[in-house]
Amino acid sequence: MTLTMFRAKLHRLRVTEADLYYEGSITLDEELLAASGILPYEKVQVVNVNNGARLETYTIPGAPGSRTVCLNGPAARLAARGDEVIVIAYAQMTPEEARRHRPRIVLVDEHNNPTEVREPYVVPPEALLAGA
């Protein structure tokens, strides 16, 4: 059995562009991808904080240092420039891997500059059951 676990996210990015006539995906600054551990061309979920829209797509690396967050193709209809979005990557893990897994969370400022990287401690289920 495998579990689908939250692996990494870029939290509250601001959309810088929306390109309806591009082939599709989300373009993200390579430095933001690297900070989060999300890979170019990896499948991600994008959640729009402003309007509640949720979509699945894949990442395309943008110019390093550009702080680009561009929704492309049909996804461009689900966000406007300035909207805040959360980009989430998931991974399939065995229960044993999931117990040891620590997701990576990258927080950004209003210009999409990383301000903090978190890798929260996850309490193993057996510790919870033992009352620890």
Per-residue pLDDT for 129 more than 80? no
Planar angle of CA 127, 117, 11, nearest 5 degrees: 100
pLDDT of 60 reads: 97
**Average pLDDT of the chain?**
93
Q: Is 58 a catalytic residue?
A: yes
Q: How far is CA 53 from CA 40, 71, 72, 108, in A?
A: 22, 12, 15, 20
Domain coverage including residue 19: 3-129
**Closest to 14 (Cα-Cα) out of 70, 53, 56, 61:** 70
Domain count, the chain: 1
pTM, two decimal places: 0.91
pLDDT over 80 (residue 123): no
- Quick one: pLDDT at residue 132? 47
The 10 Å Cβ neighbour count of residue 102 is 11
| Residue 82 region by backbone torsions, left for phi larger than 0, else alpha for psi between -120 and 50, else beta | left
Catalytic residue among 21, 25, 36, 121: 25
Backbone angles phi, psi at 77, to 5 degrees: -75, -10
DSSP-based three-state secondary structure for 62: strand
Cα distance between the two ends of the chain: 27
Residue of 21, 22, 58, 66 marked active site: 58
CATH of the domain at 123: 2.40.40.20
pLDDT in tens, 48-104: 999 999 999 999 999 999 999 999 999 999 999 999 999 999 999 999 999 889 999
The 10s digit of each residue's pLDDT in 7-16 is 999 999 999 9
